[in-house]
Chain A
Amino acid sequence: MAGVAQPAGLPAGPFSPLARSQYAALTSMRWSMFRNSLRTTRGAIELGARSIAFAFYLLIGLGLAAGFGGGTYAIAASGKWEILSALFWALFVMWQVVPVTLASFQEHFDLGGLLRFPVSFGAFFLLHLIFGLVDASTVMGGLCCIGIWIGMLFARPDLYAWAALALVIFAAFNILLVRAISAWIDRWLAQRRTREIVGALFFAVLLSVQLLNPAYWSSQKHPHVSARTRAAGLRWLEKANSVQRWLPPGLAALEVERSGGRRTVAAIESASLLGIYVLGVGAVLGMRLGGEYRGENFGEAPARRKVEPRTRSWLLDGSGPIAAVMEKEARVLTRAMPLIYALAAPLLMVFVLSGLFIKRGVAQGPANSFSLLVSLAYALVGFTQLFYNNLGPEGPGIQMLFLCPTPMRTVMLAKSLFHTLLFFVDAVLVCIITSLRIGWPVPAAIAATIAWLLFALPVHLAAGNVFSLNMPYRMNLGRITRQRGSQASALFSMLIQLGVLGIGTGIVAACSYFHRLWLAVPVFLVLALAAFIAWMRVLSSVDGMAARRRESLLATLVRTD
């Protein structure tokens, strides 16, 4: 047929003429989308914010790369190869954890839309890998790999090729694993049943981490370990070491170690095993993408029953719009895994980060004054999306909020009240975690922290209402990964969070320095009053703001991309 890039009947592999023309079309489409996005002020702000975020992550990545490079140099120069695997394990953990905590630099593009075109599975797989390659985890992980290679180059220049081989295969493994994990998480969360199971597992992990706490403390209080226990521990460590050598980080380290000992065949063997892992993870990712490619569609609904029970239950009584909005928010929240995850993940991080305070002596020292404040500030991070994009989950439903005879001010107030209640629950959990981990700070520090919260919350609610109306972005409540976000909103909200935290820690530090910690309470209360007045002023102008931003809001949240 004239004008067709690839005649029918020819194999349509990932590098066929048809696939190549499709890649070119996609590249051109992405470029056009990027260029068109710059036509608006918001698009330009987004680009600026993305550039800043990229530079920020790049700096972190460079710092980590220097650390990994230094570590490698020290290990290789001293010949203590047995420690090298620890370095690779650290890199592996960082590579897999970063995507959970950081957003991607680039806008996510739903590749499902490509399935209506004659795209081969190979091309679909390749596109899935390429889109999102400029990801925080890949950039930072890649820089760390380069750091390790440079460290090795300085310490053992003869191993540059072996180190490069190990690092390339290790990087490929990590990139594929991150993708496979996110793709499978989305798959599990796509159905109500599996979502409930994953949710239960998540909270079980959270709970078990809490239960580990007493055991940890008991070992801190009773540092004496019997010779028998110590021997058992060592035996366990040996076993763990023998197992980790067969896992990808261990294999990568082993390949370098064996090449350093001129054991070429053994090094090739390790590299080959690592390559098998890459193929295995690639196959796992392929299985998932194969499902997407075949056009699977998972419903949320339970199996239909013959007679449905007619429930008339209301979560919140009262027929007023505030109760209605709060009830709707509660129902949506329980069915939106990204929101539940965002709220719960900081709790886990608080548990982990509170370990920083548990160095002997610090828990009772001045740093303890900050522990609760910093933990609560971190818990607030989980509320960023709820506070700063509170209209994002509405989607086309935003029209209903404009059509009904309820002022937008009332809607925003109801949302703010609900989010405050939710934060209160989170804050109680954070207090329990920190008190178990670090112990309670002095009463003056507790009072200062509560007063700081009274200041921080209205600031976030006020700024959140403004951001929600001016920089909304549509959220996909059916998936955790591959979300489209607004880098500008994320950046500015983070700056506000840092500012509020900076004011809090600054005032507490100053008052502690002069041994007048209690003085922080009235200072925060004055600030809280000012913040509350500011929030009220924002609320009173919400209707006007919503009217001015109405078209932009509807365009962003209702229109299909």
Chain B
Amino acid sequence: MEIAAIQTHGLTRRFGDLTAVDDVTFSVAQDQFFGFLGPNGAGKSTTIKMLTGLLEPSAGSIEILGQPFTAGSLDLKRQIGVVPEGMALFGRLTAPEYLRFVGRMYGLDRQTTNQRTDELLDFMQLSNETRKLVTDFSHGMQKKLALAAAVIHGPKVLFLDEPFEGVDAIAAGMLKSMLQRMISRGATIFLTTHVLEIVERLCSHVAIISKGRLVANGSIEELRTGVASSLPGLEAGQRLTLEEIFLSIVGAGGQEAAQELSWLA
């Protein structure tokens, strides 16, 4: 039996009376491009923070590459790369300085760090901005740099929290092909995003979280079949988009009319 890249059992996180993530259990196989979806405030970022050691679970367990994962699992941390919600950048460094710092913090030697820094800067089209401080980068450039830092040590599992937010179409296309190449080389990617088209194009498997609970989990085809069978009046052969699947599972609530604002022009 193959070891799962990511495995959670009853993962729960409470903030006082609020349960942000409630008894979430799922498994992500190796080489899988896994999309983790949910509406705003559903618990996506809280889950990713727990999976990467930035937040302690209130209950439940996490396994990465078959080993129990906690904030102190330093060997496992070498195997994962993360683009967190706040991007984790140091504003007063330049892009090469930041990448070199990250490379050294992950234990890469000098030659490898320098070589990968140059290659990543070229790949992310940041090589003309080597004297600019990160604080002066545009949001999109910061995202590209954060992604470069997340992969500099060649992680086996990559956690990406909204990686395409603010990135232009050209760069997004480049990043997508880079991520797909990583998958083909055996990496696992755990992605959260609100752009369902990206998930539909890239991800083989999807989990949907709503109000802290996992409400769907499986391959996109499995979800499509499951939703299609529960929807009355669906024409034979009609292929549901991921957006339709998502709205069907999470539910728009049928509140369009009630939410109309009469005073808005």
Give residues in A with beta carbon < 8 Å to B.
299-302, 304-305, 308, 310-312, 314, 317, 319-321, 323-325, 327-328, 331-332, 335-336, 393-407, 477-478, 543, 547, 550-551, 554, 558-559
- Tell me whether B131 and A301 are in contact (CB under 8 A): yes
Q: Does B26 contact A (CB under 8 A)?
A: no
User: Shortest beta-carbon distance, B96 to chain A, in Å?
Assistant: 7
Known contacts: A399-B86, A550-B54. The answer to whether A404 contacts B128 by CB under 8 A is no
- Tell me whether A403 and B104 are in contact (CB under 8 A): no
Among listed B27-35, B105-113, B184-192, B215-223, interface-contacting one: B105-113
Q: Does B88 contact A (CB under 8 A)?
A: yes
Q: Does B252 contact A (CB under 8 A)?
A: no
Nearest B residue (CB) for A1: B263
Known contacts: A321-B104, A331-B97, A397-B90. The answer to whether A554 contacts B54 by CB under 8 A is yes
- Tell me whether A396 and B107 are in contact (CB under 8 A): no
Q: Does B132 contact A (CB under 8 A)?
A: yes
Q: Which of B36-79 contact A (CB under 8 A)?
A: 52-56, 71-72, 74-75, 77-78
Additional pairs, 14, CB under 8 Å, beyond known A299-B132, A311-B130: A301-B131, A308-B129, A319-B110, A324-B100, A324-B105, A393-B92, A398-B88, A400-B89, A400-B90, A405-B77, A477-B92, A547-B71, A550-B56, A558-B86
What's the Cα separation between A305 and B128 when bound, in Å? 8
Neighbouring A residues of B82 by C-beta, 8 Å: 403
- Tell me whether A405 and B92 are in contact (CB under 8 A): no
What's the Cα separation between A331 and B105 when bound, in Å? 16
- Tell me whether A324 and B101 are in contact (CB under 8 A): yes
User: Shortest beta-carbon distance, A305 to chain B, in Å?
Assistant: 8
Neighbouring A residues of B114 by C-beta, 8 Å: 312
Q: Does B135 contact A (CB under 8 A)?
A: yes
- Tell me whether B107 and A319 are in contact (CB under 8 A): yes
Give residues in B with beta carbon < 8 Å to A.
52-56, 71-72, 74-75, 77-78, 82, 84-93, 96-97, 100-110, 113-114, 118, 127-133, 135-136, 149
Partner of B71, one of A305, A314, A317, A402: A402
- Tell me whether B71 and A308 are in contact (CB under 8 A): no
- Tell me whether A304 and B128 are in contact (CB under 8 A): yes
What's the Cα separation between A310 and B97 when bound, in Å? 12
Known contacts: A402-B53, A404-B77. The answer to whether A301 contacts B132 by CB under 8 A is yes
- Tell me whether A327 and B135 are in contact (CB under 8 A): no
What's the Cα separation between A406 and B105 when bound, in Å? 6
- Tell me whether A300 and B77 are in contact (CB under 8 A): no
What's the Cα separation between A393 and B93 when bound, in Å? 12
- Tell me whether A311 and B96 are in contact (CB under 8 A): yes
Neighbouring A residues of B105 by C-beta, 8 Å: 321, 324-325, 400-401, 404-406
Neighbouring B residues of A311 by C-beta, 8 Å: 96, 130
Neighbouring B residues of A395 by C-beta, 8 Å: 90-91
Neighbouring A residues of B92 by C-beta, 8 Å: 331-332, 335-336, 393, 477
B85, B97, B105, B132 — most chain A CB neighbours (10 Å): B105
Known contacts: A402-B54, A404-B105, A547-B72. The answer to whether A302 contacts B131 by CB under 8 A is yes
What's the Cα separation between A393 and B92 when bound, in Å? 9
- Tell me whether A551 and B55 are in contact (CB under 8 A): yes
- Tell me whether B133 and A396 are in contact (CB under 8 A): no
Neighbouring B residues of A310 by C-beta, 8 Å: 118, 127, 130
User: Shortest beta-carbon distance, A150 to chain B, in Å?
Assistant: 49
- Tell me whether A324 and B128 are in contact (CB under 8 A): no
Partner of A400, one of B74, B85, B102, B135: B102
- Tell me whether B86 and A314 are in contact (CB under 8 A): no
Neighbouring A residues of B74 by C-beta, 8 Å: 405-407
What's the Cα separation between A336 and B133 when bound, in Å? 12
Neighbouring B residues of A393 by C-beta, 8 Å: 92
Partner of A300, one of B90, B128, B136: B136
What's the Cα separation between A543 and B72 when bound, in Å? 8
What's the Cα separation between A550 and B72 when bound, in Å? 12
Neighbouring A residues of B131 by C-beta, 8 Å: 301-302, 305, 308
User: Shortest beta-carbon distance, B236 to chain A, in Å?
Assistant: 49
Known contacts: A547-B71, A550-B71. The answer to whether A314 contacts B110 by CB under 8 A is yes
User: Shortest beta-carbon distance, A418 to chain B, in Å?
Assistant: 14
Partner of B89, one of A397, A401, A543: A397
User: Shortest beta-carbon distance, A544 to chain B, in Å?
Assistant: 9
A-B contact pairs, 28 of them (CB 8 A): A300-B133, A300-B135, A304-B128, A304-B132, A305-B131, A314-B100, A321-B104, A324-B100, A324-B101, A324-B105, A327-B101, A328-B97, A331-B97, A332-B92, A332-B93, A396-B86, A396-B88, A399-B87, A400-B105, A401-B105, A402-B71, A405-B105, A405-B106, A405-B107, A478-B135, A547-B71, A550-B54, A550-B55
User: Shortest beta-carbon distance, B81 to chain A, in Å?
Assistant: 9
Nearest B residue (CB) for A478: B135
What's the Cα separation between A400 and B82 when bound, in Å? 9
What's the Cα separation between A332 and B92 when bound, in Å? 6
Neighbouring A residues of B53 by C-beta, 8 Å: 402-403
- Tell me whether B88 and A399 are in contact (CB under 8 A): yes
User: Shortest beta-carbon distance, A163 to chain B, in Å?
Assistant: 50
